[in-house]
């Protein structure tokens, strides 16, 4: 059984601690906690751990203690990459809370370090990949059931957050503390899934509303126009200021269409003939192309099941020396698209993915000076 250390004792760390304590994450046990706040440490150990769990106010000391094989990095976004680099240097497998980083240029240093340490496994906690529904969607796309992708549209506006949420941590809602808003935090899961299913886009055009109806600096309402290298286009629309909101993903290809609503309701339409072949052969003006339709749903999954699943998968990957569900290179793809979206919103126009080196960091630095 792998020994797990947890760095950063905030709300998300407490979720994972609770899952370990309830026996819902096989393959590991929590042996150490790290935080600069001793009160947080003792409170977390008393609530979730055995009395022999070691407490560290020095992260490096935990890494070099010989007490941990894996470290879960549950700190604010801008600490993810530096702490993961420290873990790799110490010979500890890092499992990083999403997002991978704030700046994709910084994350490239971590990618290089991962390649330099092939004996170690590094992953990112994009837990929606552990969802049975998105596992099915991934299998359908990978099987070629939809043919060549033509369009992807995701309307994800059920990410409602109140002013109390933004005030719950001192780093939330600011460029300096969080490094971003809806795209980097709440809708980060869906952007990861979109790149997982469709690949990394090659350009993004963004319209973002910053601090709409909330006393925050960062964006909480976004519309992205996306283009992929193969010619497919798409839209990604997200909001954390409307209720009840909608969650609907549509993937349209040359062989059919997949619709996934509320993370569990599927509609799959299979064309009798690839649209490209039909278009070349027909003399008709409007089709139609015959198709079949299937509908099904997956069981409802609580967030905790997916969170337990992604951690359990990572531990199994470490033991089996295989890639985890979300390795670092995968998480970098959605971060590159996110950085491009911010640049587009700030500067206007379409931005390539990846964006020009240093461009995002320069623009973000300006906004970090805002009060």
Query: What residue spans define the domains of the chain?
Result: 2-128+304-327, 132-300+333-368
Query: Measured between alpha carbons, how far is 208 from 225 in angstroms, rounded to an integer?
Result: 12
Query: Measured between alpha carbons, how far is 146 from 193 in angstroms, rounded to an integer?
Result: 17
Would you say 129 and 197 are in contact if contact means Cβ atoms under 8 Å apart?
Answer: no
Beta strands in 89-148 (DSSP E): 93-96, 123-124
Identical fold, 2-128+304-327 and 132-300+333-368: no
Who's near 250: CB < 8 A, 6+ residues apart? 151, 152, 153, 154, 257, 258, 259
pLDDT of residue 321: 86
CATH, range 132-300+333-368: 3.30.360.10
Cα 294 vs. chain centroid, distance in angstroms? 29
Length reported for the chain: 371
Q: What is the mean pLDDT of each run of 10 residues along the chain (371 residues)?
A: 97 96 97 96 95 97 98 96 98 98 95 97 98 98 98 98 92 90 96 98 98 94 98 98 98 99 98 97 95 97 96 97 95 97 97 96 92 69
Hunting for tokens 């007490």 — which residue is that? 67
Domain range 2-128+304-327, its CATH number among 3.40.50.720, 3.40.1390.20, 1.10.10.10, 3.40.50.300: 3.40.50.720
pLDDT of residue 169: 84
């Amino acid at each position: 059984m792998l020994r797990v250390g947890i760095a950063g004792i905030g709300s998300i760390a407490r979720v994972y601690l609770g899952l370990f304590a309830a026996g819902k994450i096989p393959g590991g046990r929590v042996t150490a906690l790290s935080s600069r706040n001793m009160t947080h440490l003792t409170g977390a150990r008393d609530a979730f751990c055995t009395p022999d769990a070691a407490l560290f106010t020095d992260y490096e000391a935990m890494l070099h203690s010989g007490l941990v094989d894996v470290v879960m990095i549950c700190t604010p976004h801008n600490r993810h990459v530096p702490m993961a680099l420290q873990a790799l240097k110490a010979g500890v497998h890092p499992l990083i809370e999403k997002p991978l980083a704030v700046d994709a240029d910084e994350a490239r240093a971590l990618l290089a370090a991962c390649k330099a340490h092939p004996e170690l496994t590094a992953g990112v906690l994009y837990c929606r990949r552990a969802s049975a529904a998105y596992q099915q969607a991934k299998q359908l796309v990978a099987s070629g059931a939809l043919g060549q992708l033509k369009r992807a549209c995701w309307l994800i506006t059920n990410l409602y957050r109140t002013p109390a949420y933004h005030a719950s941590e001192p780093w939330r809602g600011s460029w300096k503390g969080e490094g971003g808003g809806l795209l980097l935090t709440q809708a980060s899961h869906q952007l990861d899934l979109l790149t997982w299913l469709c690949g990394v886009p090659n350009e993004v055009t963004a319209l973002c509303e910053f601090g709409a109806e909330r006393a925050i600096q960062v964006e909480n309402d976004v519309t992205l126009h996306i283009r992929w290298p193969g010619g497919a286009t798409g839209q990604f629309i997200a909001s954390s200021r409307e209720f009840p909101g909608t969650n609907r993903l549509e993937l349209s290809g040359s062989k059919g269409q997949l619709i996934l609503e509320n993370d569990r309701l599927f509609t799959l339409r299979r064309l009798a003939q690839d649209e490209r072949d039909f278009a070349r052969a027909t003399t008709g003006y409007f089709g139609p192309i015959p198709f079949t339709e299937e509908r099904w749903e997956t069981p409802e999954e609580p967030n905790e099941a997916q969170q337990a699943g992604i951690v359990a998968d990572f531990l199994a990957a470490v033991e089996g020396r295989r890639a985890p569900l979300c390795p670092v290179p995968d998480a970098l793809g959605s971060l590159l698209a996110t950085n491009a979206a911010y640049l587009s919103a700030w500067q206007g126009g379409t931005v390539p993915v990846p964006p020009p080196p240093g461009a995002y960091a320069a623009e973000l630095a300006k906004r970090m000076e805002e009060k």
